[in-house]
A and B are shown apart, each in its own frame.
Chain A
Amino acid sequence: MGAVSGISARGVGVRYNGRVAVAGVDCSVEGGEWVALVGPNGAGKTSLLRALAGTVAASGMVAVGGRSRREMPRRRWARLVAVVAQHPLLPAGMTVAEYVLLGRTPHLGYLAAEGANDVAAALAALERLDAGALAARHLGSLSGGERQRVVLARALAQEPEVLLLDEPTASLDVGHQQQVLDLVESLRRERGMAVVSALHDLTLAAQYADRLLFLDGGRVAADGPPATVLTPEVLGRFPGARVALLQGPGGELVVAPRRAGPAPPAA
């Protein structure tokens, strides 16, 4: 894995056809650190992830361990930064092993074929995510939890220093949400990967991330440990939100939504 370097952004801005999605964001994430991007819909979380991934034209500077995105070809950047998209396209007829092997692409020459070490790396990544048994399955036959583990394995096969996740728990049940986040947690510890993830669920974000980056209108509204970011003032920035900040049995933060009007009678 080499140096544990992390990713940093300076004055990053993203526009789509003149509309500003991200405006001058500064942030840095150390190797082994997990930062969750939180904020209302349209706050710029996905756009910021795209800017970090280098898949959208962005102003400002993005660098991994001091090596700027602009100074290297796309393929070398892909060896440093892996992305798990919110709705990855999984071709139904492709097998899981074939898909995970695509993660070796940045390590191959333009027209080269994978070698035995690439196959080994892909299968090891699959095993690491307890998905070795899925290798010969078609992507179209996977359940939601299996899909997410397979996509993570593909990202892991890239052997990145930075892992970007866009809503990795969307459309998973609560058990599979925790399973996926636990896997990310153990991976960042054992490999020293910097993890940046957009997360809707504030309770999960507070429990798993070291720091929260609260985005609103494309700008950083708050940045710090979950307890300092999740305050009534910051939560008030979610349009229409009615939430209570509670403490769980272990002292963890819980953001509990509350319905409008009087509470329904307990059954």
Chain B
Amino acid sequence: MTRSRALRRLSPLPVGVLLLLLLGAMAAGVLVGAVGLSPRAVLAELADRLPVISVDSGLGERSAAIVWDLRLPRVVLAALVGATLAAAGASYQGVFRNPLADPYLLGVAAGAGLGATLGIVGTGPASPLVPAAAFAGAVVAVLLTYALGSAAGGGRSGTTLVLAGVAVAAFFTAVQTFVQQRHADTVREVYSWILGRLSTVGWSEVTLLAPYAAVSLVVLLFHRRLLDVLAVGEEEAATLGVSASRVRLVVVAAATLGTAAAVAVSGLIGFVGIVVPHAVRLLVGSSYRVILPLSVLGGAAFLVLADLGARTLAAPAEVPLGVITAFVGAPFFAVVLRSSRRGWGP
């Protein structure tokens, strides 16, 4: 019988396609840049670092540093941020059964914005404390949202939580605006932080984000079957032995951890968390067993490509990454939306 069509499982084809896309995007990201290096030399330089293989790339020390300390960490960072935001967005959409949910739903954006603003005002834009302050702000905002939502709705309804998030975000944004007004000289730095960027020198941002991203992705991927259970509603899930509020707590905690870390190193990059999961959903179906892993790959590939555009389109200047993700993502999403008759469920 038509079992494979009836029970959609992760099939090798879309995984393979997205893996190839990701690898191709990462290769392009390493090969293309403001300084013209021969692709052959760059590939030789990369191969040289692999165990056993020894090739002389012919690149000087400065060119080698461009590959190792500028391009490669930036590409890896883009992949990590994209994967984390897309997985968090998909999980939020599942856990709140809300197609408009994105990773910033419960106040992450406003909290990180306030944290970063305070960091920039207090210690300067280049300070290593800015990411830490943004991370702390994001986590505090979500904790407040959860405390408020649980007090109001007993933690039983996702809607209460979302509304609590609206209140917390409004409050944090107000405080941020107030602080910014008092320190008008920092507006430019704060604004560029909010638009999101992946300018990185060396591997420090990657090593900062990697552990959080790894924990977040593993936890979210393990919850993909339970997200399907939640799709039938909280009461039905309870009759199937699943506590919706418990699943929501774990998923929100994992998604927040990953998102806060991503925001801390890259600012607020919009659109990835919404457009990637929805594109996957429209193309391959509505089961989170498929959506979640494919969103991880798709989000990584999407952000690597977007960042490639951000640093090459107006070289040597950089286009803000958030501008690219929306500029490319919105039309792409419109095409997917139009060409698919599969809607979002009720």
Contacts and interface: CB of A to CB of B under 8 A. Distances in A.
A93 B344 contact: yes
Given A88-B232, A94-B231, A103 B7 contact: no
A113 interface: yes
A179 interface: no
B94 to A, nearest CB: 10
- Chain A: interface residue count, which band? 35 or more
B232 A55 contact: no
Contact of B236 (A76, A77, A85): A85
A94 B345 contact: yes
B239 A98 contact: no
A135 B342 contact: no
B117 interface: no
Given A91-B345, A92-B345, A94-B345, A74 B6 contact: no
Contacts of B281: 93
B238 A55 contact: yes
Nearest to A87: B233
Given A78-B239, A111-B222, A101 B345 contact: no
Given A92-B345, A94-B287, A78 B225 contact: no
B11 interface: no
Contact of A98 (B6, B222, B240): B6
Interface string A43-56: 00000001001110
B343 A95 contact: no
A132 B286 CA distance: 21
Q: Residue among A54, A81, A135 with the most chain B CB within 10 A?
A: A135
A83 B239 contact: yes
Contacts of B276: none
A55 B7 contact: no
A81 B242 CA distance: 14
B182 interface: no
B346 A136 contact: no
B235 interface: yes
Contacts, number: 110
Interface string A74-117: 11111101110100111111111111011101101011011000
A106 B240 contact: yes
A99 B3 CA distance: 13
B240 A77 contact: no
Interface in B291-338: none
- Chain B: interface residue count, which band? 20 to 34
A140 interface: yes
A85 B236 CA distance: 8
Given A111-B222, A113-B225, A136-B5, A92 B346 contact: yes
A105 B3 contact: no
Interface in B137-195: none
A119 B7 contact: yes
A71 to B, nearest CB: 15
B232 A91 contact: yes
B8 interface: yes
A135 B345 contact: no
Contacts of B36: none
Task: Report, nearest first, the 8 A-B pairs whose CB atoms are least far apart.
Answer: A78-B241, A93-B286, A75-B241, A97-B6, A91-B345, A92-B345, A135-B6, A106-B241
28 contacts: A53-B238, A55-B239, A73-B241, A74-B238, A75-B242, A78-B240, A82-B239, A85-B235, A88-B232, A88-B236, A89-B231, A89-B236, A90-B345, A91-B231, A91-B232, A92-B343, A93-B281, A94-B228, A95-B6, A96-B6, A97-B6, A102-B232, A110-B226, A111-B223, A111-B225, A111-B226, A114-B225, A136-B6
Interface of B: 1-3, 5-8, 222-223, 225-226, 228-229, 231-233, 235-236, 238-243, 281, 285-287, 342-346
Interface of A: 50, 53-55, 73-79, 81-83, 85, 88-99, 101-103, 105-106, 108, 110-111, 113-114, 119, 123, 132, 135-136, 139-140, 158
